[in-house]
Structure 1
Amino acid sequence: MEDNVLSEIQGKQATTYFHHFRFVIFFQVVDRISQEIENRFSESSTELLLCVACLDPRNLRISFANFDLAKIVRLVELYPQKFSPSDLMEFKEELKMWLSEMKMNAAFLKLQNIGDLAKKMVDVGFDKSFPLLYLLLELILVLQVATTSVERTFSAMKIIKTNLRNKMGDEFLSECLVCYIEKELFISIENEVIIPHFQNMKSRKTDLPLLCKD
């Protein structure tokens, strides 16, 4: 009798704990992450990311679950200046042939990202056989770098152009941003090189003193 009561109590506790961690904690965390993503990325940006994910080359020979032909074609439609309507029709046929070649070519096994896919296409000559698809891969890779650079620039702008410097001109701001973003490069340049270069940029009222080496 006592064992049955104990088992019933333990079962209720297990159910209660499961309900608590799943509905009270886990689902709320997932909802919060989803809300943060929606706030950070617009609908068009989300669509672009989903389309890019379709070209993920991992597990190519196991399944083509990542490859969605409709989304890849939609990705091409987002670049009307690069792909004409006739290019779009040709791209659809080119993509079908490319997928068939990928399934039979062992060189494309164990690729980890889109960069590896683009490199391997160059190695086997697919960049010439499938030029439109290779152009799309180039645009995707450039997009990743450009997006990161823009976010990095805006973060640096918040640090440099503060409320005390809100009247800073665009040219001076641009030069400050370059120095801040590429600070690792500027640190490697000796002051003895910078001072004469700055002195010779234009005539000045006085000469800057040269640094004395110990």
Structure 2
Amino acid sequence: MAPQDPGFRTLCPTRWTVRAASLQSVMQNFSVIQSSLDSFADMAKRDPEMSARCTGVAAQFSSFDFLFGVALGEKVLKLVDNLSKALQHKKMSAAQGQVLAELTIKSLALMCTEAEFSNFWEKLIEKQSKEDVAEPSLPRKRKRPCRYDEGSSGHFATCIEDHYRVMYFSAFDMAIQSIKSRFDQPHYKIYSKLECTLLKGAAGESYTDDLSSIQELYCTDFDSNILQTQLLILYSHFRETAVTPALMDVVDYVKSLGKPGQLLLSEVVKLIRWILVAPATNATSERTFSALRIVKTYLRCTITQARLNHLLMLHVHKEACDSLDLELCIDDFCRESEHRRNIFGSM
């Protein structure tokens, strides 16, 4: 690879929802990958299996369908990646996630136009002419399976551009429907209504519809009249800050009140507990599994469970660790045993 060529990005084997950058690096290094595969196939002639693999991958790179799929995947996943990364923030709430999902759906819908496809097709044909890629062609007509036969012979595109146009719009429709199905779940809507009731009440906005929705589920678990009064008290605080409160802002404020203040906002505390018992995003807990592979390396394969737990706590809670007084930690470490005091001394 030449120094001016951009580098490759690794492909994640488990999460394809954050791989737009990887597909972009493939598009930018298309000719480099093709030449590298040919070189690998020549060098691996003594190994028939490896040579066959390199030849097979090179054949895929020379087909127009592969180029079309990589380019379309990059275009779709750019917007989906942006949503995925935003939803993984540890302070993300369900109500905010719903807004972000709707914005992403609108952005994807803007890509489903004839003008956008024409622009995409022109750039793709220009890319194909520069690379060692075959010309686009229509697939062989195949008879529809009997289980799908409805008495018609099916639709076959007569134009190459029409054939790929169908796949283009289908990819964006699938992405839009996947996002909608994820955020249109009944339980998620109730969870979002809980957050909207709390946040709108703290911001002084109308939350009548949201409150009536959660009343149908929780019924006698809380007193709606007292809740409305306590939300008014909450609004009196956040009105002075002149900042639209987020979920964690409300949680931190209620925590700072202590027990007497929480008794004053007892129904609000119930609402917060229902929200926090099932967080809107589990990205924080998933990062613990990612950290496990970073902490427990192959060189630390004999680490004990207690030491592993301690190292993971330090790795996960980095912000809290940075605020610790190291001298006090060292003093506590030495005071735990006489042997340590004899070696390290004490403050």
Q: TM-score, length-normalised on structure 1?
A: 0.48
Q: TM-score, length-normalised on structure 2?
A: 0.34
